Amino acid sequence: MLFSAILGALNGAVAKYLSQSMDPIEIVFYRNIIGVLIILYTFKKIKVSFDISKIHLLILRGIFGATAMVLFFYTIATIPLGEAVVLNRTSPFFVTILAYYLMKEHINLRTFFALIIGFIGVIFIMKPFGIDFSLEHVLGVLGGFFAAAAYATIKKIKDIYDARVIMLSFMSIGSLIPLILYLFTNLVTFKLHTEIFTWVLIVFMAIISTASQWFLTRAYSLSKASIIGVVSYANIPFSIGFGVMLGDMFPNFITFIGIFLIVLGGILVSKK
């Protein structure tokens, strides 16, 4: 999970840099289509069996994960990288809420207060009473919700499908969604890119994000969610650092309070 966090922060930094000259949804498309090719190549080297008994959950994981990625990449391009990452890290709170409503898991008093602490942190970061509040912040939190739904499905199918199969479902659907948006809406613009450096960055991003997803999937498959959830917050300081290097303003005191509350709430939720 630590490797995933570091590579994930670097992936976000590359995506933010590319968003200066590319549509964020276009970046999602190239990142995923190259990731699909990488995964298919690994199948050629190491065979894997496929079970159709839970294919509906596999497809749902792909839809949830791809939607979360589209929202995440959009917020990366429009708000500071550190804020985008922190808002995406609200996913543990949504996992707990989904577990309560869908799986009837009990929420004790400590977990309830942890949820309150975390969402107060979200309010601090979104600054609803200041000029920084925007739709992009709302979409960032929504991305955290879909990421939570994706993580929940991983726990359901981890013993049925190889980690690469789970990743392939996510990346395949993550390639289709931008393509559908491009073909049938005016929301996405695809351009012809001739700069070699741009393509080097796209391929590099695809490789490190694929590696990050593999580490993430394996982490949730092999260890307790409580441990994984805590370690995953390591990507926040890395993301803030990369964001400042790319020109983001250093987070102010109110934003840091929000970050602290979200991390604290997330750790308490993970330890429930």
Q: What is the pLDDT of residue 211?
A: 87
* The pLDDT value given to residue 116: 83
Which domain range does residue 61 map to? Answer: 2-270
pLDDT given at position 201: 93
The tokens 């491009």 sit on which residue?
Answer: 182
Question: Total structural domains in the chain?
Answer: 1
Query: Is the full-model pTM beyond 0.75?
Result: yes
What pLDDT does residue 189 have? 81
| 10-residue mean pLDDT series, the chain (272 residues) | 88 90 89 88 79 82 90 89 84 76 70 80 67 74 88 77 84 90 84 87 88 80 70 82 86 82 78 58
Number of other CB atoms surrounding residue 78 within 10 Å: 17
Q: Tell me how far apart the alpha carbons of residues 92 and 267 are, in angstroms, rounded to a whole number.
A: 9
SS3 state at 189: coil
CB neighbourhood size of 1 (10 A)? 22
Residue 113: phi, psi to the nearest 5? -65, -35
